Structure 1
Amino acid sequence: MGSQGEQSAGAKLLGIKGDLVDYVMVIVGFGLCRAWIVSCLSASVASFGPRTDWVFLLAGAASASLTAMAMTRFVGSLPRMHERLTDVMTGLILGSAVCIPAAAWLDSSTLLLLGLIIGGAGAGLLQVIWGERFAAQNLFFSLACAPAAAIVTGIVLAMSSTDNQLTFVVIPILSLLLLVLECKRCKIEWKTGLPEGMVEDDVADSIISPDEHGVLRDRMRLGKDSAKLMLSIMVFSFLVRIFDAFPISGDDPFAMVGGSGAFSLVIVGAIFLAISFLLKDRMNVSFAYRLSVPIMIAGLIAMALLFEQRTYFSVLAVSVGYELFDILSWVLFGEIARRIGRNAAPYVFGIGVTFTFIGMAAGYVLSAVLTPLVNAGDVTIGTVALISVLCLAVVAFMVLPESAVASILSIKKPSKKSEAPKEEAEDETMPAITLEAKCNGIAEECGLTPREEEVLTFLARGRTLSIVARDLHIAKNTARTHIEKIYQKTGIHKQQELIDYVEEWEPEIALQERAAE
Structure 2
Amino acid sequence: MRFFKTVQPCNLGLMCIHIWIYCSTHRAIPAEGMPLMTVMYLVLSVSLVAMVFVERAKPLAERTKRRVDVASAVCMACAAFFLTFPLPFSGASTTFLGAVLGGVSVGWTYARWAEFYAELDIHYAAPLVLLTMALGSLAKTVVDLLPPVPATVVLVCMPIVAYVTLYRSTASVRPALEPYRYYNSRTIMSLWRVGFGIAVYSFTVGVIQSMPLAQLASTGVVAIVAKHAGEIVVALALLAWVVAFKRGLSFGRIWNLVLVLMATALIFTPYLEDVLSGYLFTFVGVAQTFVIIILFLALADIARHSSYQPITVFAAGWLAYTLPFSLGDILGESLQAITPDASMAMAAIVWLLVIVTLLFFDESSAGKRLIFTELNDEGDEDTPAKRFGAQQEALNEEKAADMLSLRCTALAKELKLTPREHEILELMARGRSKTYIAEAFFISENTVRGHVKHLYAKLGVHSKQELVDRVEQTEVRG
Q: Which residue of 1 aligns with 2:90?
A: 107
Alignment of 1:220-235 (within 5 A): 223-235=188-200
Is residue 2:109 matched to residue 1:148? no
**Closer, same or farther in 2 for the Cα pair 1:175/1:273, shift >3 Å?**
farther
Q: Partner residue of 2:204?
A: 239
Counterpart in the other structure of 1:66: 50
Q: How big is the shift at 1:226?
A: 2.7
**2-side partners of 1:17 and 1:338: how far apart?**
23
In structure 2, how many angstroms separate the alpha carbons of the residues matched to 1:47 and 1:414? 51
Specify the alignment match of 2:356 in structure 1: 395
Is the Cα–Cα contact under 8 Å of residues 65 and 351 in structure 1 kept in the other structure? yes
Task: Indicate if the aligned counterparts of 1:254 and 1:263 stay in contact, CA closer than 8 A.
Answer: no
Name the % identity.
15
Match for residue 125 of structure 1?
A: 108
Q: CA deviation at 1:114?
A: 1.1
Does 2:10 match 1:25? Answer: yes
Change (3 A) 1:127 1:185: closer
Q: Which of residues 53, 57, 62 in structure 1 aligns to 2:37?
A: 53
Please list the CA deviations of residues 359-412 of structure 1 after superposition, one character each: whole Å capped at 9, or x if unmatched: 32223222222223333xxxx322101211222122212233244442333438
Q: Does 1:315 align with 2:281?
A: yes
- 2:11 and 2:165 in contact (8 A); partners too: no
1:367 matched to 2:354: no
The partner residue of 1:182 within 149, 166, 176 is 166
Corresponding residue for residue 266 of structure 1: 232
Q: Does 1:276 align with 2:276?
A: no
Cα distance change of structure 1 residues 55 and 241 upon mapping to structure 2, 3 Å threshold: same
Distance, in Å, in 1 between the alignment partners of 2:31 and 2:220 is 30
Conserved in 2, the CA contact under 8 Å of 1:238 and 1:363? yes
Farther off after superposition, 243-252 or 110-119: 243-252
Mapped to 2, the partners of 1:47 and 1:399 lie a distance apart of: 38
The reply to whether residue 325 of structure 1 matches residue 291 of structure 2 is yes
**Superposed displacement of residue 285, structure 1:** 5.4
Amino acid at match of 2:14: F
Shift of 1:280: 2.0
Is the alpha carbon distance of 1:212 and 1:275 closer, same or farther for their aligned partners in structure 2, counting shifts above 3 Å? closer
Deviation of 1:40 (Å): 2.6
The offset of 1:347, in angstroms, is 1.1
Alpha-carbon distance in 2 for matches of 1:159, 1:362: 31
Q: Evaluate the alpha carbon distance shift between residue 180 and residue 393 of structure 1 in structure 2; reply closer, same or farther with a 3 A threshold.
A: same
Match of 1:348 in 2: 313
Matches of 2:84 and 2:249, distance apart in 1? 44
Does the 8 Å contact 1:300/1:389 carry over to 2? yes
**Residue in structure 2 matching 1:297, options 263, 270, 277:** 263
Aligned partner of 1:107: which letter? S
Q: Report the equivalent of 1:484.
A: none
Q: Does the 8 A contact of 1:257 with 1:263 survive in 2?
A: no
Q: Is the 8 A contact 1:26 1:130 kept in 2?
A: no
Q: Deviations over 1:52-75 (max 9, x none)?
A: 221112222222221122111124
Kindly state the Cα deviation for residue 340 of structure 1 after the two structures are TM-superposed: 0.4
Q: Which residue of 2 aligns with 1:206?
A: none
Q: 1:236-281: CA deviations, max 9, x gaps? A: 1221232233334989998347344323322221222121112325
Any gaps of 5 or more consecutive residues in structure 2?
Answer: 173-179, 395-478
Distance 1:399 1:320 in 2: 22
* 8 A contact 2:10–2:168 mirrored in 1: no
Equivalent residue of 1:395, what SS? helix
TM-score if structure 2 supplies the norm length?
0.67
Confirm or deny: 8 A CA contact 2:231 2:289 kept in the other structure.
yes
In structure 2, the CA distance between the partners of 1:330 and 1:225, relative to structure 1 (3 Å rule), is farther
RMSD: 4.1
Partner of 2:474: none
How far apart are residue 86 of structure 1 and its match?
Answer: 1.7
- Post-superposition Cα deviations, 1:186-229, rounded to whole Å, max 9, x if no partner, equal 339xxxxxxxxxxxxxxxxxxxxxx959x9x8xx7871243332
Please tell me the residue identity of whatever aligns with 2:116: R
Q: CA deviation at 1:172?
A: 4.9
Structure 2 match to 1:407: 370
Size of the alignment, in residue pairs? 378
| Aligned residue type for 2:10 | M
* Aligned partners of 1:135 and 1:335 also within 8 Å: yes
Q: Which runs of 5+ in 1 are unaligned?
A: 1-13, 189-210, 436-517
TM-score, L = length of structure 1 = 0.62
Superposition pairs of residues 422-461 of structure 1, within 5 angstroms:
none
User: Which amino acid in structure 1 is aligned with residue 352 of structure 2?
Assistant: C
- Distance (Å, rounded) in 1 between the aligned partners of 2:217 and 2:45: 34
Structure 1 residues 282 and 177, CA gap change in structure 2 (3 angstroms): closer
